[in-house]
Structure 1
Amino acid sequence: MKENERTIAHYDLDAFFVNVECLKNPSLKGKPLMVGGKSDRAVVAACSYEARKFGIRSAMPMKLARRLCPQAMIISGDMESYSYYSRLVTDVIRDNVPQFEKASVDEFYVDLTGMDRFFGSRSFSQDLRSKVTKETGLPISNGMAANKLVSKVATDEAKPNGQLVIPFGNEKRFLAPLAIEKLPMAGPKTTELLRQMGVVKIKTLSEIPVEMMENLMGKPGIELWRRANGIDESPVVPYSEQKSISTESTFESDTIDIRFLQAKLVQMTEKIAFELRQQNKLTGCVTVKIRYSDFNTVTKQCTIAYTALDHLLLQTVKELFSKLYDRRLLVRLIGVRFTHLVPGNYQISLFDDTDDLIRLYQEIDKLNGRFGRYLIMRASGFL
């Protein structure tokens, strides 16, 4: 192995939501399926490969998706099932590798640098894929390369249920013939701008002078140019479910005022839910803490479907508090903590909600981020 040569493996569950639904109902296999809300204003959260042949894609308005494939079945999302299987896959990977990064509910990075001299990275990755499928029933694809960027693109090219290894030194050559849409970070607006410039393939993008890209887009232009050239030094960040976001409040005087306590819980939950979304994370476990006037401290937690949405988290927090607060003693402190954090966009939970609700969360977060997190809050949070 050459000095500074890395071996990074990327694993991504194929059509994750759809395949979980097929596990629950095998008769759905091989059919065009869409997971999401059934109203015209809902969005497609996921779709089967059979549905993708009609041009359907994730995040597409459901109304348009139905036009493209009227015969497609629409299934309401079940985040509890998806969270369960995500944890199941995480356990399999944790049991087989010393260190990994959980990039979202359905994708993982593993640093296999140096493993060739002992086990063989390619065969190890294949064995791990087989174990995941055998123990969970879910197909998973794998890409392997010198960095996270190229390994992720390789996984996308290997789908469904495949493996693709990009030898060290071939990163730029591998990316060159691919469409610019396949480059992570090249979103719809960026892609449209580049296509207007006549840039269709990653090869063309990689040949544009970096100074021109900087003038065009600023620092993001430099990063996009680096990616087009297969350059990525980002490390595999070890995954730990011990990471948390929490907040506590100690009162000036002990209280038994239930309305006050509930309003405080609303404030605290909204505060750290906002932090979750700002960090682009989801939580899979909620804990509520109470310290009484005699300093006795009690906690209660609940494992939930991964989310970062206020209205779902508030429901869990209120349920935990009602079960926990049974002594009817003066309260000195209350706290809320989110754990089992994973990277992810909160929109994946909005199966039955409309794009209006998605935009509402985005606008509230934008305003609170600009003018202060308490600019917009629920009326029930006012003390």
Structure 2
Amino acid sequence: MFRTMERNVVHFDLDTFFVSVARLGNSALNGKPVIIGGNSDRGVVASCSYEARKFGVHSAMPMKLARRLCPSAVYLRGDMDSYSRYSNLVTDIIRDRVPVVEKASIDEFYLDLTGMDRFFGCRQFTAELKQTILKESGLPISYALASNKLISKVATDDAKPNGQLYIPYGNEKGYLAPLAIERIPGVGNKTSSLLRRMGVETIKVLSEIPVPMMENLLGKNGIELSRKANGQDDAPVVPYTEQKSIGKEETFNSDTIDMKFLYSELIRMTESVAFQLRNQRRLCGCLTVKLRYANFDTVTRQTMIPYTANDHVLLSKAKELFVKLYDRRMLVRLLGVRVSHMVGGFQQISLFDDTEENVRLYQAMDKIRKRYGEPAVQRAVSLNTNKS
């Protein structure tokens, strides 16, 4: 009887990524509390160093409160261009050495090393890869090696900063047992409050609740939560190259040269793909605009951009591409917008230029769209509905 091959899954997480990138360019920041975000008091903390966290500062906190908690910190404006560049550098380092890599966010990676033990030890290989990343990028990175994505991700938090952990096969449930229920990915405030009111505080207690009871309590999510509490996770490592794009295009009822109409359509489509990005909790690193003329000639232009899911960033780039693309002054038959090079991590949405009010505005707009449909909220300039 053949035994199922034990999986070897690694979760890599760049430590305080934004801060680490800033420190590469300014060693005077080493060892100091550093807070990155909007410059004004109405801004939001995008990232902070471990030194700043000791004062109670955390991501998404209003900058005004952060200044009160840690007035001695060094406050910096974010640089998404640099973050994207270093993220891509680390991605290339890993992909050159590992056959199956999932880029989960701008600073997180899953590696499937299953079967590689036949050639060399996974533990040794991963430790050497960590050192290679530090040497070639200058960025500290933590990781955990385990039998599935769930355990490796949870354990990476315990490995930080700049550390490593190995959870042997068969030890998954024992490792999780003493941890607080909030450590399970996907357990939010609502679920946490419900479970704690029932006296469920640790993952061990959660794992002992009968599955039917969990299903009655939380439906299908209860079944999945029970599996996680028992250390079970069959989710595959999805290769980064298989990440799909999001796009929208339209063939007009009649060919047009109406620039006002074309710009309104461009804005409407860009808003739509940006909303879909945020709805899927993703960021994109590439934007493409497509144009088809009346004679059926089709042209496209694309540009690599700092990872984003913000309307105003994508709109600005889409307009730039359209201006460069539309050079024949011929009637237009089709227009399209597409984003690609996507990674997870909408929680890392660029907060550097956004006030807390702007972030809440995006959230409010998306909430309305989810409930009433995408057309429920649009920029006024995109409401030119005259189909040429």
Could you say what secondary structure the match of 1:46 adopts? strand
Aligned residues: 383
CA–CA distance in structure 1, aligned partners of residues 60 and 182 of structure 2: 15
Instruction: Give the equivalent residue in structure 2 for 1:272.
Output: 273
| Greater displacement, 333-342 / 219-228 | 219-228
CA–CA distance in structure 2, aligned partners of residues 146 and 96 of structure 1: 20
| Greater displacement, 301-310 / 343-352 | 343-352
TM-score with structure 2 length normalisation?
0.94
Instruction: Give the equivalent residue in structure 2 for 1:362.
Output: 363
Instruction: Give the equivalent residue in structure 2 for 1:170.
Output: 171
Instruction: Give the equivalent residue in structure 1 for 2:140.
Output: 139
CA–CA distance in structure 1, aligned partners of residues 103 and 83 of structure 2: 15
CA–CA distance in structure 1, aligned partners of residues 51 and 242 of structure 2: 35
**Residue 220 of structure 1: CA displacement?**
2.0
| Greater displacement, 46-55 / 103-112 | 46-55
CA–CA distance in structure 1, aligned partners of residues 185 and 65 of structure 2: 25
CA–CA distance in structure 1, aligned partners of residues 117 and 231 of structure 2: 22
| Greater displacement, 215-224 / 92-101 | 215-224
Instruction: Give the equivalent residue in structure 1 for 2:111.
Output: 110
**Residue 235 of structure 1: CA displacement?**
0.8
Q: Give yes or no for contact 1:7–1:112 (8 Å, CA) kept in 2.
A: yes
Instruction: Give the equivalent residue in structure 2 for 1:228.
Output: 229
Q: CA RMSD in A?
A: 1.8
**Which structure 1 segments of 5+ residues have no match?**
none
The reply on whether 1:281 has 2:265 as its aligned counterpart is no
Could you say what secondary structure the match of 1:31 adopts? coil
**Residue 9 of structure 1: CA displacement?**
0.7
Q: In the alignment, residue 201 of structure 2 is paired with which amino acid?
A: V
Q: In the alignment, residue 46 of structure 2 is paired with which amino acid?
A: A
CA–CA distance in structure 1, aligned partners of residues 353 and 210 of structure 2: 45
Instruction: Give the equivalent residue in structure 2 for 1:189.
Output: 190
> Structure 1 residues 242 and 226 mapped into 2: Cα distance closer, same or farther (>3 Å)?
closer
Q: Give yes or no for contact 2:172–2:231 (8 Å, CA) kept in 1.
A: yes
Instruction: Give the equivalent residue in structure 2 for 1:39.
Output: 40
| Greater displacement, 109-118 / 345-354 | 345-354
TM-score with structure 1 length normalisation?
0.95
The reply on whether 1:329 has 2:330 as its aligned counterpart is yes
> Structure 1 residues 124 and 51 mapped into 2: Cα distance closer, same or farther (>3 Å)?
same
Q: Give yes or no for contact 1:155–1:163 (8 Å, CA) kept in 2.
A: yes
**Residue 25 of structure 1: CA displacement?**
1.6
Instruction: Give the equivalent residue in structure 2 for 1:348.
Output: 349
Could you say what secondary structure the match of 1:119 adopts? coil
**Residue 251 of structure 1: CA displacement?**
1.9
Could you say what secondary structure the match of 1:60 adopts? coil
| Greater displacement, 216-225 / 107-116 | 216-225
CA–CA distance in structure 2, aligned partners of residues 209 and 66 of structure 1: 47
Q: In the alignment, residue 86 of structure 1 is paired with which amino acid?
A: S
Instruction: Give the equivalent residue in structure 2 for 1:79.
Output: 80
Q: Deviations over 1:363-383 (max 9, x none)?
A: 222222222211111111112
| Greater displacement, 324-333 / 207-216 | 207-216
Could you say what secondary structure the match of 1:290 adopts? strand
**Residue 346 of structure 1: CA displacement?**
5.6
